[in-house]
Amino acid sequence: MVGRNAIAVICARGGSKRIPRKNIIPFKGKPLIAWTIEAALQSNSFERVVVSTDDKEIADIARHFGAEVPFLRDQYADDHSTVSQVVHHAVEKIGGNYDVVAQLLPACPLRTADDIKNALNEFDGQGFMLSVTKYGWLNPWWAHRDESGQGVPMFPHEIKQRSQDLPEVYCPSGAIWLANVQTFLQEKTFYGPGYRLFPLPWISAVDIDNYDDLEMAELAFNLRQKHEILY
């Protein structure tokens, strides 16, 4: 990423439904969003770390932990707007001459500064790159849907194969999405043509949507701390 100017955008609306006020709920002694802001700042990878929010309380907390909040957005704050729309809006509002934009979801508190640096070092500055993680023991090739009480395999050929004989499959995580700014402004999505994948360890990729995810994130945090102490 040498020689390229990068900006980080953290999207945090106030009206989350599955966990009310999710982006600022306490998580291991800090508001949830603080973990993402601090990881972005500690990576020393960005010219600016910007939070896009529609909520004054979130804005105040974000500023307290060192992020910029140059505006309160008055659109793309509903249940139907996509992260790509929010980031596109933010980049246009902020302006400036940046080469790379990074989207960092505050619901991924276990992504680290090193994860961010590694992703940016892997990114060639062109096109798009999305963080992903392996599915692990939940093998998606064996997925089923229920049709009137009858199990129907999503992949009828693969369901008959051993897991070790099937190709690795990855699940996107909102931890770190990268894009060339000009291409992103044209395509208006991080899922642009030829997007690449950046695998993360499952702990770094944990994405909190509901209370079960929150409990898992807390367990993952404790597990990581235990391993750091042991090793």
Task: Tell me what the mean pLDDT of segment 38-58 comes to.
Answer: 98
Positions of E strands within 12-159: 26-27, 30-31, 48-52, 100-103, 128-134, 144-147, 150-153
Question: Looking at domain 6-134+170-230, which CATH architecture does it have?
Answer: Alpha-Beta Complex (3.90)
The CA–CA distances, whole Å, from 40 to 37, 57, 110, 116, 216 equal 5, 20, 12, 7, 23
**Domain boundaries defined on the chain:** 6-134+170-230
pLDDT of residue 137: 86
List CB contacts of 15: < 8 A, sequence separation 6 or more: 54, 55, 77, 78, 79
pLDDT of residue 179: 98
What are 129-162's pLDDT values in tens digits?
999 999 988 899 999 999 999 999 999 999 999 9
Confidence of residue 3 (pLDDT cuts 50, 70, 90): very low
* 190 burial type by CB count under 10 A (0-12 exposed, 13-18 middle, 19+ buried): buried
Please say whether the beta carbons of 94 and 52 come within 8 A. no
Task: Look at residue 4 and tell me whether its pLDDT is greater than 60.
Answer: yes
Confidence of residue 168 (pLDDT cuts 50, 70, 90): very high
pLDDT of residue 229: 58
Question: Considering the chain, what percentage of its residues have pLDDT values greater than 90?
Answer: 90
- For residue 207, the SS3 value is coil
Confidence of residue 231 (pLDDT cuts 50, 70, 90): very low
What are 49-104's pLDDT values in tens digits?
999 999 999 999 999 999 999 999 999 988 889 999 999 999 999 999 999 999 99
Confidence of residue 228 (pLDDT cuts 50, 70, 90): confident
- For residue 17, the SS3 value is coil
Matching residue, tokens 């973990």: 35
Task: Tell me what the mean pLDDT of segment 188-196 comes to.
Answer: 97
Confidence of residue 41 (pLDDT cuts 50, 70, 90): very high
Task: Tell me what the mean pLDDT of segment 105-121 comes to.
Answer: 98
Task: Look at residue 2 and tell me whether its pLDDT is greater than 50.
Answer: no
